Amino acid sequence: MWASAGDLNSPQTVTSERQTFYCVPVPGESAWVKEISASQARVSPSTSYTPSRHKRSYEEDEDMDLHPSKQKEQHMGSGGDIHGCVEPKRLETEASAGHHVISPNCSPPLDLNFPLPGEKGPACLVKIYESWESFKVNDVLEVFGVLSVDPVLSIVNSEERDSSSLDPMECMDTMEEQRVHSPPASLVPRIHVILAQKLQHINPLLPACLNEEESKTFVSNFMSELSPVRAELLGFLTHALLGDSLAAEYLILHLISTVYGRRDVLPLGKFTVNLSGCPRSSAFTEHLYRLIQQLVPASYHLRMSIESMNHSRFIPHKDYTANRLVSGLLQLASNTSLVIDETQLEQGQLDTAGVHNVTALGNLITWQKVDYDFNYHRMEFPCNINVLITSEGRSLLPSDCQVHLQPQIIPPNMEEYMSSLLTAVLPSVLNKFRIYLSLLRLLDYSISDEVTKAVEEDFVEMRKNNPESVTADDLHKMLLVARFLSLSAGQTTLSRERWLRAKQLEALRKARLQQQQCVNGNEL
């Protein structure tokens, strides 16, 4: 039984708090993810939606532009793998201008605050009524709720502003803040959440939750055919890397790597690979990225140049005029593949912004964190981004592992060669590659006491034979390679066989680097 609206002292009155998050589509989400998700969606026509009314909202919103609400709304930079009552096609049309939505009668355009340039899709104000404390910036959410694109919302906000303007103490928001916090509902819909949950991954080919009984059956069936899938993927990547099977092995390990924990400030499980020796003139790195884009759910290709370093916004910063966090390129969801291309980098002068951007990339790679700029101070936010660096020589950025590419074939036409690789792969096989890479990074992993002792003894023996060149860092790297090598074969514990294979791969990689150093006469 509900208490009357005026009876605030009733024992049945419950005070609760609602929080509002600003959510955008997953930055860098691959086209194949969107296509498969759209084909799986069960969309029913809304009983309360009429096209004429919706069209009219555009005309009304052009007149009233962005009106304020008195409620301050906290903004999140990334999130919103939004399903349920949302009609994705309609919302994408409404926000199809990417970063800016322009109305003829508006002075400045509406910035939808997407982290990556050229992104399209619906941005939403997601209103959560309970358990909102568990959601953090850059989480990927799936929400079910009531969608509202009613222009009356903006009219109500306008009336509230007009009434509160009589009392200056009631309207402390600046005009810019009002524009940001109360955008037109037709451009930035509201979702009143009934159910919201964090997603482990955004691969639509995998079950959303792997702990359910049906999901365990799916995983078990896929693991039974893992060996041929790995062999086919290795062959595919070997061709993509111009016949270099060693580089293909390390690329697989990189693509299934993930930060599985943190020890103090040290992230455990990160595996940034620097693929050096990439040909500069053949657009090889561009085509390699397009192939990776077909395998992973989310990715971004960062072309390093003096201009992009000096003029891009890498880290989010607080805009105190609009009272919101302005997104940056590095504000990405977990397990996004960030491919940094240094092959086009030329000599030039980095300005202050460029130096800060290079520093931000270094912090991301080394510590898996991004420092958000609040002008008066910086705040660290942990992240989990897979970074692959392509370069001619050794990268100017730090990395966990440098693999020098040794092409066995030089295609006369790189574009035709790379395109033929994709067309030669059956769609069903390509989907298996996608499942393989997403699933293996979600598996648990452990090392038995027996194997741990054997590894320690092996390392002591290696130190005796070659004390100068074998370090603790080498042990850490070999254990990391052994971890992902085991997982790539579907094994959740380290075996003696996988440890020996990891040592072999590392020996081959180091020998190749030394050979290249002798050829060039300088350090790579």
Q: How far apart are CA 319 and CA 323, in angstroms?
A: 6
Instruction: Give the tens place of pLDDT for each residue, 438-460.
Output: 999 999 999 999 999 999 999 99
HEC readout, 370-410: EEEECCCCEEEEECCCEEEEECCCCCCCCCCEEEECCCCCC
Residue ranges in the chain modelled with pLDDT below 70: 1-7, 43-108, 152-174, 519-524
Place of tokens 């693999």: 403
Domains of the chain with bracketed CATH: 19-198 (no CATH), 213-443 (3.40.50.300), 444-524 (no CATH)
Amino acid residing at 293: Q
Residues 429, 435, 440, 444, CA torsion sign? negative
CA atoms within 13 A on the CB side of 2: 4
Instruction: Give the tens place of pLDDT for each residue, 263-297.
Output: 988 999 999 999 999 988 779 999 999 999 999 99
**CA proximity to 253, closest of 502, 451, 508, 503:** 502
Say if CB 161 and CB 50 are below 8 A apart.
no
pLDDT score of 162: 52
Q: How far apart are CA 480 and CA 502, in angstroms?
A: 9
Element (H, E) at 418: helix 414-424
Q: How far apart are CA 336 and CA 84, in angstroms?
A: 24
Collapse the DSSP code of 51 into the 3-class scheme (helix H, G, I; strand E, B; otherwise coil) and give the result: helix
In DSSP notation, 270-330 reads ---EEEE---STT-HHHHHHHHHHTTSSBEEEEE--HHHHHH---S-EEETTTTEEEP-TT
pLDDT score of 177: 73
Q: How far apart are the first and last CA of the chain?
A: 74
Structure tokens at 18: 């609602």
Q: What are φ and ψ of residue 62, in 5° steps?
A: -65, -35
pLDDT score of 171: 52
pLDDT score of 179: 73
Say if CB 338 and CB 386 are below 8 A apart.
yes
Q: How far apart are CA 264 and CA 356, in angstroms?
A: 24
Q: How far apart are CA 106 and CA 420, in angstroms?
A: 48
